[in-house]
Structure 1
Amino acid sequence: MVLEKSLDNGRTWQPYQFYAEDCMEAFGMPARRARDLSASGAHRVLCTEEYSRWAGSKKEKHVRFEVRDRFAIFAGPSLRNMDNLYTRLESAKGLKEFFTLTDLRMRLLRPALGGTYVQRENLYKYFYAISNIEVMGR
């Protein structure tokens, strides 16, 4: 799955975060978590394997874009130092633009089957189910 953002009302898109069971195989980049980023890398596009493991058909599963973890780099783990975050958003090159968007979309690239395929060559027989999408922002 790829989470993508647009800055021009959907005319062009750029990756915001990649999700894969194996990031190196799927996207040619190592798996990382937002909490492991440094202040200078808080605006980097990551691939995470954290939310991409097959959980079975009866388990509820949540997928996150770890905005709070990125904010915590500047505001602290409890997000109490928001003044520092706002100062960094204004002064750090690329940081404000990273968190700015006009549109957000998910591209589902392949079903997460945990390596179990009935017909690997015919993925049309598989489906996705999304029950809720929550986007918070201002």
Structure 2
Amino acid sequence: MLEYVINLNVLLSVSLQLFHVAYVLIKFANSPRPDLWVLERSVDFGQTYKPWQYFASSKRDCIERFGQQSIERISNDNDVICTTEYSRIVPLENGEVVVSLVNGRPGAMNFSYSPVLRDFTKATNIKLRFLRTNTLLGHLMGKALRDPTVTRRYYYSIKDISIGGRCVCNGHAESCNAKDPNDPYK
């Protein structure tokens, strides 16, 4: 059997400023959504990344790749979960992934008074780490039967990414101007 794994990192810089991210919406184009991937965040301008949410096509993949705790119900505002909702092969084109980082969490109804949730939603950078393509079972083809018309369709295509949130300003700023990374106190 051939294994078709295409690892790819898509890095998004969020205005070089710390934001509270409420949601990430990814619209794919003429490819299926990834089979296995991780949404990650950085709070130190891309120096380090931590998982925000895992995506897999089955609970088994969630457990094997991300651990048993990834399939548990959200009980804390900073739980990193694995969902199977957005890794199905269908639709083959124009699929969407909607990640709400606030809704469904214990502190969602009182965001201002939940320091754990406020910390969990902070990000300066976002990374989409794609680990495996959806293959229409082409990965089951033996080497002798390899069909290049099948395998050349293994790619990712994104047509739009929307990020919703607000700047980290404790609710008191009139505007949310980008900071100078060379002078963080400006």
What's the TM-score once normalised by structure 1's chain length? Answer: 0.71
Describe the shift of the 1:47–1:71 C-alpha distance in structure 2 as closer, same or farther (beyond 3 A): closer
Conserved 8 A contact 1:42-1:70: no
SS in 2 for 1:86: helix
Q: Distance in 1 between matches of 2:112 and 2:108?
A: 9
Match for residue 80 of structure 1? Answer: none
Distance apart, 1:85 and its partner CA: 2.3
Distance apart, 1:31 and its partner CA: 5.6
Whichever of the two has the greater Rg, that structure is 2
Q: Distance in 2 between matches of 1:31 and 1:51?
A: 15
Match of 1:86 among 85, 89, 112: 112
Alignment of 1:1-138 (within 5 A): 1-22=37-58, 23-29=62-68, 32=71, 36-38=73-75, 41-58=76-93, 60-70=94-104, 73-75=107-109, 84-89=110-115, 94-117=116-139, 125=152, 126-138=154-166
Structure of greater relative contact order (alpha carbons < 8 Å, 6+ residues apart): 2
% identical aligned pairs: 30
Q: Distance in 2 between matches of 1:120 and 1:9?
A: 44
Structure 1 runs of 4+ aligned residues shifted over 2 Å read 25-33, 70-74, 113-122
Q: Distance in 1 between matches of 2:84 and 2:161?
A: 19
User: Mind listing any 5+ residue stretches in structure 2 that lack a counterpart?
Assistant: 1-36, 167-186
RMSD (CA atoms): 2.8
What's the TM-score once normalised by structure 2's chain length? Answer: 0.55
Which residue identity does 1:107 align to in structure 2?
Answer: R
Q: Which has the higher helix share?
A: 1
SS in 2 for 1:63: strand
Which residue identity does 1:37 align to in structure 2?
Answer: I
Q: Distance in 1 between matches of 2:111 and 2:42?
A: 23
Distance apart, 1:113 and its partner CA: 2.5
User: Mind listing any 5+ residue stretches in structure 1 that lack a counterpart?
Assistant: 76-83
Cα displacement string for residues 72-130 of structure 1 (whole angstroms, at most 9, x for unaligned residues): 7531xxxxxxxx321123xxxx33221111101101111022544265889x7421111
Which residue identity does 1:6 align to in structure 2?
Answer: S
Q: Distance in 2 between matches of 1:2 and 1:16?
A: 7
